[in-house]
Structure formats: structure tokens, C-alpha cells
Amino acid sequence: MIPISKPFIGEEEIARVIEVLRSGMIVQGDKVAEFERRFSAYIGSKHGIAVSNGTAALDIALKSIGVGEGDEVITTPFTFVATSNAILFQRSKPVFADIEEDTYNINPDDVMEKITPKTRAVVGVHLFGHPFDLRAILEICEDHKLMLIEDCAQAHGAEYNGKKVGSFGIGCFSFYATKNMTTSEGGMITCNYDEIVDKCRLLRSHGEVRKYEHVLLGHNMRMTNIQAALGLVQLEKLDWMNEKRRKNAEFYEKNINVEGLRKPVEKSYAKHVYHQYVLLVEEDFPMTRDEFSKYLTENGVGNAIHYPKPVYLQPLYRELGYEKGLCPTAEYVAERVISIPVHPLLSEKELERIVEIINGV
């Protein structure tokens, strides 16, 4: 089976982790601070705050800007549930704006429709590695005095008009094992707002301003020195890994030739880093999406559904009163998308085999 994803861990990562283990500084240490500096410099933001995972980054980011009970936060329904769960953690209401038909990212026109006097922020997701329309969303946020949080969990190194995502609003990154770069688990907040940095650092570590002195209610959401050591090596490889993903996507674009399969787009403003390569099964395709998934699996091609339903149709959200029909485009897309392997470890032979299987439908 050709796997849908595979982390690229080499001898360099192993050596760096062993070095930290031998040092005895396995939890907090200088590697965390170094990773914060280097990652934020790579993104082009002033500050980096390393945390335990991407969900923690979102949670802390929302808390740092004062989102709380009774507030509304506009976000996309077509992503992993962690994005909107972070809003629920604040006892705030996720308000779902529909998505664009081509990028599957949050639709600025629907964001405008969903603004109320209770709206405090917008959380956009750079889905599958393609930036959402930052210019349009930033204009909306500026006009309505809203904060922008960028969920960059799938878009390390992606660019909007030549500038890396995560440097426009408050960036929230995940370094989970399947991401474009990994620290196994881990996350990072990036921003240019001096006024929230200290609060973010307090929130990730029990609100502790100095040893055994706690000034606010914080979490235990720190990154370890081991994770940071891994991240430093992965960061050195990130551009190469992203370029390999882009070349794999280019191969698919040129060679997948089946009517009824919609391939990903790359807008003129975007540099796509293809966290996932997502096909959409149109109505004139000879199989349903689920039949196509079974066909790929039977022929040794790993695949996955990202995502099988909009977040608001998850049982938790149905219990909160969200109903079907809220975001028609998201519902349509969720019934038809399927992801195929695009990770940087794919060989030329594997790419050719994947294309052969797909074109053989």
C-alpha cells in the first residue's frame, strides 16, 4: 500500500534528539527558544511562542485577545474540528461561513453576511496548504474592528502574494506527525503584536510569572526541548519538502486525465504547499466518491476523506443546535472530496502507479 502520508525523519533528526537526551535538558531548554526564534524568522513575524500542539495554539491565541463568553467568532465549517472547538473552549459561539467552490477555503462574501454586533474575531484556515483570500478577509477585519487568527496547521511555508502565511494576523501552527514539518506533537503561535506575547507565554505555563507565583489561570501547554530539537532540523528541510510536494502535485496535474475528477487549483496570489492533494468527484465521474476510495484501496493506493462532513454536522455540534443546510457548498464538497498521496517520500515509480490506477477507472 502506498501510504497517504509519511513523516520524513532522517539521521539528522535522530542525532539532534539524542544530543538533547544526553544533555539532560529534555523538557524546557535552549532548543525551545532557538526554535521559536528561527521559526518566527522563517515566517516573517516578530514573535514565536512554542506550545504543545496546534489546538493549544488556537486556544491560547483566542484567550490572548480576550475572546470570551457570549462572543461570536466566524470560522470555516470545512476543516478539522479543532478549529471550532477552540472557540467553544472560550464559551464563545462558532459562526460558520461557507467556503469557496474552488479553493474550499472560507468565503469572504459569506463572512460579511455572518458579522453581528457580537462578532469578535475571524479564524480562517489555510486549508490543504492553499492560503485563504487574506486581502479580502483582512479588509473585512479592519472595517469591522475584528481580530484575525490564521489557522496555519496545514500551510507551513505557504505564501500569499509572496509573504508567508502566519505573518498577517495571529498564526497558529501544528507540528503533528502528518504535517509538512513535524515535531511529533507540537505547535507555534506567530504574531507581530507585542501586547499579547507575554500573556501567551503565561497561558501556556500555568500563568506563572516567576517560580511558584501565578498571576492568571493558565494551562500546561509547553513544547519540550526534545520536540524543539526535532523541529529545528525539520525547519531546515521544510522548503525542500514543500518543493517536493509541489512537484508531485505538478505531476498529477499533468498526468491525471479522467473526466469527472476536479483537481486542486492554485490561485494567482497563492503558493500552495499541498499538505493534501484533494480531488473532487464530479457527478459525471463513473463512480461515487466512496466507490472510488474503495477502488484505490483495493489497488494499493492509500487515500483519505478530508473531510466527510462539515464541522457543524458532527454530533457534538448538532446537540448545540446547528442544522443541515447552513453552508451548502461545504456540504456538497464534503460528500465528494478524496485525498491521494502527495508526501515528499513518494518515488517516481509510486507516482506513476497512482496515476495509472486513477486513469484506469
Within a domain: 6: no
Say whether pTM exceeds 0.85: yes
If asked whether residues 348 and 323 sit together in one domain, one would say yes
If asked whether residues 43 and 172 sit together in one domain, one would say yes
Within a domain: 5: no
Query: Distance between CA 2 and CA 212 in Å, rounded?
Result: 51
If asked whether residues 189 and 265 sit together in one domain, one would say no
The C-alpha cell at 34 is 532557538
DSSP character string of 51-120: ESSHHHHHHHHHHHTT--TT-EEEE-SSS-THHHHHHHHTT-EEEEPPB-TTT-SB-HHHHHHH--TTEE
If asked whether residues 185 and 50 sit together in one domain, one would say yes
121 sits in the region (left: phi over 0; alpha: psi -120 to 50; else beta) called beta
Domain stop point among 234, 250, 276: 234
> What kind and span of H or E run contains 270?
strand 270-271
User: Can you give the CATH number for the domain in which 178 is found?
Assistant: 3.40.640.10
Nearest one of 185, 195, 189 to 166, comparing CA atoms: 189
Domain stop point among 212, 234, 256: 234
List the strands of the sheet with 337-340, edge to edge.
261-262, 277-281, 337-340
**Torsional sign, CA 7, 11, 14, 16:** negative
Query: Distance between CA 150 and CA 159 in Å, rounded?
Result: 13
Within a domain: 200: yes
The whole-number pLDDT of residue 265 equals 99
Domain stop point among 183, 213, 234: 234
Give me the average pLDDT of each 10-residue run along the chain (361 residues).
Answer: 96 98 94 99 99 99 98 99 99 99 99 99 99 99 99 99 99 99 99 97 97 97 98 99 99 98 99 99 98 99 99 99 99 99 99 99 96
Cβ-contact 92, 75 below 8 angstroms: no
Residue range(s) defining the domain that contains residue 321 = 238-359
Task: Indicate the length of the chain as a whole number.
Answer: 361
